[in-house]
Amino acid sequence: MSSINYQENGLDNNFPVETQTPTNPEIDILNKDLDDRRRHPRKKFDSLIDFVKGGNLIKEKAKDLSYSGIFLKSSRLEKYNINDSLTLAFQDTSGQPKKYKGHIVRKDREGIGVHFLIE
């Protein structure tokens, strides 16, 4: 399944579009192995996240969440650099408020990967 993106007020919105994806058993096995090697599995997490970076309050939309980090979608990637420190506040998948310090460990065309600093 792919998606169509459009922007409204700076937030990315994805709408699923049904498509036929060819399968290749060899690639499927490789992808499964990559998922199995993950230390902490990701869970889809569609929520707005508030965080502070350099004294500025910023809001971005999350894509997924794991015990050790979160991926935030952004159309403003020029604002972020690898190793930037963030303080994030959000409600987890069970609705419990969470606050984490973290740093950016990955940046791609879709957004940023943040690793939580567990104290």
Per residue in 37-95, pLDDT (tens digit) is: 557 788 899 999 999 999 999 999 999 999 899 999 999 999 999 999 999 999 988 88
- CATH number for the domain spanning 77: value is 2.40.10.220
What pTM value is reported for the model? 0.66
Q: Tell me how long the chain is.
A: 119
| Cα 57 to Cα 51, 87, 101, distances in angstroms | 6, 9, 14
Give the residue numbers spanning the domain of 113.
2-117
When divided into structural domains, the chain yields a total of: 1
Q: Which two tokens stand for residue 118?
A: 């567990």
